[in-house]
Structures are given as C-alpha cells and as structure tokens.
Amino acid sequence: MSKCRNCNIEVLDETERCPLCGSVLEHTVEVENMYPDVRIKARKLTLISNIYLFCAILLEALFLSVNAKQHPDVWWSLIVGLVLLYGYLLLRFAILGKSGYKGKTVILTVIAILVLVGIDWVVGYRGWSVNYVLPSGIMLIDVGIIVCMIINRRNWQSYMMWQIFMILCSIVPLILCALNIITVPVLSLIASGFSVFLFLGTLIIGDRRARVELKRRFHIR
C-alpha cells in the first residue's frame, strides 16, 4: 500500500506514482499486486525478438560469406535473409504488435507477398510473383474478410475500411499491367473486380448500416 501526500489518498496497487496528480507515492505497507504485471511478459517477448534478430543477422552474414565464396552466381543467401526477416516481422507484429487481429492478418499477408516478390527477383525474376502471387494474395485477403464478416455478424460493418484498403491494393496490379510488368493480366483483373464488387455488395446489402459506418469513418454529416 502506498500513500500520496499531495492528494492525501491511499493506493492499494503497487504503482509508483499517484493516478491523480502523478506524484511519487510513499510506500506504507507491503501488499500483493492486485493486477498481473503484463509488462514483464512483454519485456520477455521483446528480449526474445531482439535475440532472434541478433541471431538472424549473424546467420545471414555467415550465409552471405559462404554464398560469395562457393556459389557467387546464385544468391540463395538472400532468400534465407528474406525468410529470416519475415520471421522477425511475424514475431514483432503477430505477438508484440498492438494492432488488432484484422490489421495483423492483412499486414503480414502483404509482407509475405513482398517477400515472395523479392525471392522471385533473387532467383532471376520470371514474373510468377507479380503475375500470380500478388493477385492471389489480394483475393486471399478478400476471402478472409468475408469469412470474418460472417463470423462477426454483429459488427460486420467494421470491415468496410479494410475492403476500401484492398481496393487500393488491387489498383497496384492494374498499374503493373499498364507498365507491362505483369504479362498475364487475367488474374489481376479478377482480383481487382473481386475487391470492388465485395465492397459494392457490402454497401448495397448493408444498406443503412453500411452508409452510417462510412459517414462515421470519413466524418461526413
């Protein structure tokens, strides 16, 4: 138990500062903490992620040196580095990230797509990453949004902003098609249409609740 001389109150929890004025508390009686200290677990996970990052850097440096000496024509060590990087980002976002599961899922899927694009470039770039992986990843996220909306039926309208985000993401393959970087545009067109019609379907079927959600999100009266 602690006491604040400034506010003249007693605080039962083992905190160091007064919740009212922020002054340093004076400890009077030792008591057991009323709430679990989640900061200890967070510090442990942060330590694990830092150890992983350090070990990943050491491994990548070792693989780069071996790769440069034995197989300088094929930089397989960069692929290993991309996988290790994704493992670190997975640890930071999925476990230590403060965003919700929706944001974590979308962000990690987008990062996975970028990693596969990077692998495609490392092995000589044959275009499979942008022709197939990129649009397939967009449709996969759209399907995930539909599943989440079905499971969370009472709050389905909260997924509309992610639908808009996926529409913006689906524009990227169309731009790559216009630049002739994507040589097989069929899947990209399907992915873009999927994202657009998913949003339109939600807006039309959702009717008033969907319109209210958009007005609330974009601060429209």
Average the pLDDT over 203-221 and give the result.
87
Asked whether the beta carbons of 159 and 102 are under 8 A apart, the reply is: yes
CA distance 67 to 80: 11
What pLDDT does residue 36 have?
A: 55
What pLDDT does residue 37 have?
A: 54
**199 is a domain residue:** yes
Give φ, ψ of 45 to 5 degrees: -65, -35
Average the pLDDT over 60-83 and give the result.
89
**201 is a domain residue:** yes
**218 is a domain residue:** yes
**179 is a domain residue:** yes
Band the pLDDT of 1: cuts 50, 70, 90: low
Band the pLDDT of 193: cuts 50, 70, 90: very high
Band the pLDDT of 198: cuts 50, 70, 90: very high
Task: Give the chain's domain count.
Answer: 2
What pLDDT does residue 104 have?
A: 81
What pLDDT does residue 213 have?
A: 87
What pLDDT does residue 32 have?
A: 53
Residue 16 belongs to domain spanning: 1-35
**88 is a domain residue:** no
pLDDT in tens, 25-66: 777 765 555 555 556 667 788 888 899 999 999 999 999 999
CA 140 to chain centre: 15
Find the radius of gyration of the CA atoms of the chain.
25
**171 is a domain residue:** yes
Q: Is the full-model pTM beyond 0.85?
A: no
Residue whose token pair is 């976002």? 93
**169 is a domain residue:** yes
What pLDDT does residue 29 have?
A: 60
**28 is a domain residue:** yes
pLDDT in tens, 82-125: 999 999 988 888 777 777 777 788 888 888 998 999 999 888 88
pLDDT in tens, 143-168: 999 998 999 888 888 899 999 999 99
CA distance 70 to 76: 11
Band the pLDDT of 14: cuts 50, 70, 90: low
In the chain, % of residues over pLDDT 90: 46
